[in-house]
Amino acid sequence: MEKRGGWGSKMAFILAASGSAIGLGNIWRFPYQTGMNGGAAFVLIYIIAAFTVGLTLFLAEVSLGRATKRNPVGAFKEKRPKSPWFLVGILGVFTAVMILSYYAVIAGWTVGYSIKAIKGDFSKTLTKASVQKMFLSFSSNTGLNFLLLLIFISLTVIVVSFGIKGGIEKLTKILMPVLFIILVYLAIKSVSFEGASKGLLFYLKPDFSKINSKVVLYAITQAFFSLSLGMGTIMTYGSYLSDSDYLPSSALWVVSLDTFVAIMAGLIIFPTLFTVPGMSPAQGPSLVFVILPVVFSKISGGAIFGSLFFFLLLIAALTSTISLLEVPVAYLIDEKKWNRKKAALAVGLLSFLFGIPSIFANKPGNFFNDIPFIKKDFLSIMDFVWGNISLLVGGFFIAIFVGYIWKYNKALKEINKSGKIFKFGKLWGFFLRFILPPILFIIILSSLLIK
């Protein structure tokens, strides 16, 4: 088992798991979800969801991963051989390929916007019309986006080919702290713009009448997406942990860091948004690519900060795509005895092919921009099916498996293996068995009805 590779230290796991968690989900998806779901009320429900449902499932995934030291398919097979439970792992492997395909398209945008920043595109005075035009002409440029997708998937494949320790650890250790600092700096700037208070109210003062089942649904799915839960990413990363690591504190660290970055991203976007006349918070996936240029145009040294920011976002996205690719790659290595390089290349190619329709999703008039009958663009459909439903279904079955099949007290034993006893073990077991399954079940049903 040794040659599978493992983390250098517990700190390395926290860094790598936060590297997986922190990404476009925090900086691109969280603000636009908040904007579309009523602002502060959504933020509040999101935080509650992350620290209850999210944290509980996080611990379930790491403990199963570490107990079996296997990929998601192997983990289920080891605990329940000759039963259909391994299919939950297979669903995770598929989901990883699919999320990677469209996630890499958006990640490609961060590459494009880094270049725009360097070119000085954000140093002019920007209006609503000009930023929207900039986004549209960029995102509908098929050739460019094709190239960016190819670049991004290739980068991911290269890092994953080098293996868990050489590739992932080094990258996160150096660049994550820099990202944190620049986020805080930009948030302080944004909050102090003239007219920022309207955005602060929208973002931080909850209007409780806006809380409905849809808000709860999107808050929970956002928490899953942002924390990389429900498909075995965290299980896979947990499988590289050593038995002496105390899991609950690692889990709490990752959830806290991830939530912090999301909150900061919103604090950058919304105050600035309300200083631009006519701009709506509910504009969907284009939101941050429209507002961030405005932020950079308003601060001194905007070109430098802009290029640095988009570069760091690119790295954050890369540490997330690495964790997505790692799931099918670990599966192919462990279960199918492929070598790492071949597995990374094959899965990367598959994701690239599935990503192509998402490139056309922002080209007005294109088939994939407005799919007949469904009346949605391809990328949104992918995000809904794989980034929402599939993670919820996966999370539901993982909770049932760890809570009832493998049994929560065995999981607790695994958690306590480090020698330090988890004080909230009983509470965790209660949540895992009696709160998560019904909540997730109701939410899966209602999400199928809402759309």
Q: Residue 30 or residue 85: which is nearer to ligand TRP going by CB?
A: 30
In the structure encoding, which two tokens stand for residue 168, read together? 């992932």
DSSP 177-206: HHHHHHHHHHHHHHHTSTTTHHHHHHHHS-
Residue 107 as a binder of ligand TRP (CB under 6 A): the answer is: no
Give the residue, chosen from 19, 23, 31, 425, that forms a contact with ligand TRP under the rule CB under 6 A. Answer: 23
In the complex, what is the shortest distance from the CB of residue 293 to ligand TRP, in angstroms, rounded to a whole number? 21
Window contacting ligand TRP (CB under 6 A); options: 55-63, 220-228, 365-373, 439-447: 220-228
Q: Is 26 in the site for ligand TRP (CB under 6 A)?
A: yes
Identify residue 20 by its one-letter amino acid code. Answer: S
Q: H/E element holding 383?
A: none
Which of positions 229-288 make contact with ligand TRP (CB under 6 A)?
231, 233
Burial class (CB within 10 angstroms; exposed 0-12, middle 13-18, buried 19+) of 67: buried
For ligand TRP, the closer of residues 50 and 303 by Cβ is 50
With contacts defined by CB under 6 A, how many residues of the chain interact with ligand TRP?
A: 16
Cβ closest to ligand TRP, residue 225 vs residue 378 = 225
CB nearer ligand TRP, residue 24 or residue 399: 24
Q: For ligand TRP, which stretch binds (CB under 6 A), given 239-247, 320-328, 363-371, 411-419?
A: 320-328
| Plot region of 251 (φ>0 → left; ψ -120 to 50 → alpha; else → beta) | alpha
Secondary element (H or E) of residue 117: helix 86-119
**Distance (Å, rounded) from C-alpha 114 to C-alpha 166?**
26
Of the pair 63, 228, the CB lying nearest ligand TRP is at: 228
Q: How far is the CB of 27 from ligand TRP (least distance, A)?
A: 8
355 in Cβ contact with 105 (< 8 Å): yes
- Contact yes or no for 65/238 (Cβ under 8 A): yes
Which CB, 122 or 310, lies closer to ligand TRP? 310
Cβ neighbours for 309, distance < 8 A, ≥ 6 positions apart: 117, 182, 186, 292, 296
Candidate list 32, 225, 240, 378; residue touching ligand TRP; CB under 6 A: 225
Q: Which residues would be at the binding site for ligand TRP (CB under 6 A)?
A: 20-21, 23-26, 99, 225-226, 228, 231, 233, 320, 323-324, 391
